[in-house]
Structure formats: structure tokens, C-alpha cells
Structure 1
């Protein structure tokens, strides 16, 4: 019976690399779940990238798409209603600022949090 008590240490520590990956993946998934639960304003943009949606809107309208108008477009349903009341308040502020501020400035900046990297979206 002494053989059972003398299990080699490297056998106990031999955890498969795939198993370690699953633990990390599980941690990431749980963290993402917590972060998603904190979001109060959903979007109706689906899985389409913002850059692609912006280029489609630019082709349809023939104008450069600002971050504000892209935000409004992704937070409206197909029937034209907003996804919720909080999104409606934010979108109305953006639209109000777009009417006041010149087109060279970004009217979404005062309402939305400033972006640290504009090059990642490719939008003005």
C-alpha cells in the first residue's frame, strides 16, 4: 500500500495544456458576462462592423458619417424606434449637438466618452 502514497510528483502536476486553456477561457467568459450585465444601452447593430455600416450609410447618403450619426443609426430598430429610453435620450442629445456644431467637429464627443484612438474605427 505504500506504492499509492508514493505517486510521482510530476504525475500530479501533469495537467494537460488544453485543460489550462479551458480554465482561462472560462475566466474570460465569466468576466465578459459580468461586463455585458453592466451595459445599460443595447445596440441594434448586430454583428456588422461599425466601419462597414458607416461606409454603407456614406454610400446611401453621399455624406461623411460622423460618430454621432453612426451611434444613432446603431441604436435604432428597423422600425425607427430607439432600443430603449436611455438610448433615446443620448441620441436626442447627439442630434441636437449635430445641428449646433459645425460638421468639422465631432458632435458625439461631448455626449459619448472621448475616443483615445480614432484610427481603430477609421471614422472622423
Structure 2
């Protein structure tokens, strides 16, 4: 697995005062985290690339949050992640509702212009 000289280097490195200070700070920082992710050692960039390749879509940071903070059973990793997912979904739904007249206006071909609010009339009549 490890060559002997690599292992000896690591043991020596981990024993240095500077490495011990950095390790202690990182341990404290990890203790302050409020949300746990489910990617393990895989980077978010790697997860994003896999999803983009499988599904053929480019993910935003918001799109990437759910697959990296939900367990295999579909539950959020913790309460903080759950709250953020609910807030994000609510925001996206309200944004979709605000955008839907724009989308409907384009679909209806009603000569829609930015700022128009009457595109539904053509679709409903």
C-alpha cells in the first residue's frame, strides 16, 4: 500500500509542531459545521460532473446542494440541510410562478414583450 519511505515521511510530517497546529484548527472548524454532506472523499466538482454526464444538464450550486446533502433513502442529512432544502424549493417554486407568465407568453406566440402581463388572455380564450 505505502512504500516505507513515504510512510516515514508522513509520520515525521504529522509530528511537526506546525502540522499539529493546523490539525487542531481544522478539528475545531469541523466541529463548527452545521451540515454534513454525503459525498465522502468525492469532491463536489466530481459529483457535479457525474450528474451532468448522466443527465446531460449543467448544474448550478443550488442544484448540486440536494444530491450532496440527501442520504440514499431521500432524507436530508440533518435539520439544517432539511431547512435549507425546503427554503430553496419554496424559492424555486415562487420564482417559477413569477416566471410562468413569461414562459406561457413565449409558448402562446402572442407577441409577448418584456414587462407585458396579458399573455394569459391569448391562452385562455
Normalised TM-score (structure 1) = 0.61
How far does residue 60 in structure 1 lie from its aligned partner after superposition? 2.0
CA distance, structure 2, for counterparts of residue 39 and residue 79 of structure 1: 22
Query: What are the Cα deviations for residues 18-71 of structure 1, in whole angstroms up to 9, with x where unaligned?
Result: 68x700000000000111111111111111111111111112222111101111
The runs of 5 or more residues in structure 1 that have no matched partner are 1-17, 103-124
Secondary structure in 2 matching 1:46: coil
1:66 pairs with one of 51, 60, 69: 60
Q: Aligned residue for 1:85?
A: 79
Asked whether the 8 Å contact 1:43–1:76 carries over to 2, the reply is: yes
Q: TM-score w.r.t. structure 2 length?
A: 0.60
Report how many residues are paired.
Answer: 84
Return structure 1 stretches of 4+ with deviation > 2 angstroms. Answer: 95-102
Q: What runs of 5+ residues in structure 2 fail to find an aligned partner?
A: 1-11, 97-125
Coordinate RMSD, CA, aligned: 1.9
Q: Would the aligned equivalents of 1:68 and 1:95 in 2 still touch at CA under 8 Å? A: no
- 25, 35, 39: which one aligns with 1:41: 35
Q: Which has the higher helix share?
A: 2
Does 1 or 2 have the higher relative contact order (CA < 8 Å, sep 6+)? 1
